[in-house]
Chain A
């Protein structure tokens, strides 16, 4: 397999949407295929806030998980706390916890925004589905959220603790744009 220098979880940035408030302490998980080896070096998201006139600080975390059987295991993580002094969208880089060469294949990207006392943070994100599905799909977990609030990336997650996406509104079943660059 060839090496790649860029991986995006959404196909092209300009198709992504903005404007949804990211719920805090919600662990979003998105299964992706990474087509080539890439260094887990620079991880970035695009966020904005509504400070309401007062500067604020927000902590964000990203987790890289692999799935074996019915358990997601944390292979690596990235995170940072950011101070916001303006309301415009800006790139924010999450510091990775360890050097890793990500091998090609299926991985899961986890994202948490920890509460700072308000929920006025938005991200560039995937298109949203506002329909209401009656039941979730069959087979293994691919995308969705953790059923329990989280403030840190769990080292392991049982897929039985996860909620597959079934629509029902825009609050939970969308995914922040994540860019990994070597």
Chain B
């Protein structure tokens, strides 16, 4: 197997904004890594609606899936205090990791000290009338949380509709 220098989930910036994430919401986004890559810089395109004096914090977890259990493999965080549309990067991680190829899940947990939301740019899916009938492909918790869980049962994901399956554009560099 080779070693990648970058890994994209989309080869372009998705045109849709307002992939809205709520305070205290934990969402899991699938991410296929095509070959080994050193966990370096994680980039997302972000619109902050931070009110004056407010801050957002994004807690980000890298999860592997075995059976129906998501297990935290690595984590980073990103405090954001600027407004507007901007790329945000995470470069500091809980441990050094060379990510093996396969399907991983990013856990996005937003928290804020003011009443405001965060938007990411990417693509939305279709709002189907029924839940996806196959294996786990991501989703969100309806209950608020304040920390990334070290492990998580996919059966506890209870929101799998249109907004919960949205995919933010993610650029990962080694």
Contact = CB atoms under 8 A, between A and B. Distances in A.
A133 B34 contact: no
Contact of A133 (B6, B86, B91, B171): B86
Contacts of B11: 9-11, 30, 32, 126, 143, 175
Contact of A174 (B12, B45, B121): B12
B41 A139 contact: yes
B134 to A, nearest CB: 19
A174 B12 CA distance: 7
Contacts of A167: 13, 85
Contact of A35 (B10, B13, B34, B45): B34
A22 B164 CA distance: 35
Interface in B114-140: 121
Contact of A126 (B12, B47, B82, B121): B12
Interface string B19-39: 000000000000000110000
A137 interface: yes
Interface in B26-80: 34-35, 40-41, 43, 45, 47
A31 B6 CA distance: 8
A139 B85 contact: no
B8 A142 contact: yes
Contacts of B112: none
Name B's interface SS. strand
Interface string A71-96: 00000000000000000000000000
A104 B4 CA distance: 10
A128 interface: yes
Nearest to A33: B34
Contact of B121 (A35, A131, A140, A143): A131
Contacts of A143: 11-12
A33 B85 contact: no
Contacts of B121: 129, 131
B43 A137 contact: yes
A11 B40 CA distance: 25
B89 to A, nearest CB: 3
Contacts of A166: 87
A133 B85 contact: yes
9 A-B pairs closest in CB distance: A138-B89, A139-B41, A139-B173, A137-B87, A126-B12, A137-B43, A129-B13, A127-B15, A134-B86
Given A129-B121, A143-B12, 15 more contacts: A32-B11, A106-B6, A127-B12, A127-B14, A127-B15, A129-B13, A131-B45, A134-B85, A136-B87, A137-B43, A137-B171, A138-B87, A139-B40, A166-B87, A175-B12
Interface of B: 2, 4-8, 10-15, 17, 34-35, 40-41, 43, 45, 47, 82, 84-89, 91, 121, 171, 173
18 contacts: A10-B11, A11-B11, A30-B11, A105-B2, A129-B121, A130-B15, A131-B45, A131-B85, A133-B45, A133-B85, A134-B85, A135-B87, A137-B43, A137-B171, A138-B89, A139-B41, A140-B6, A167-B13
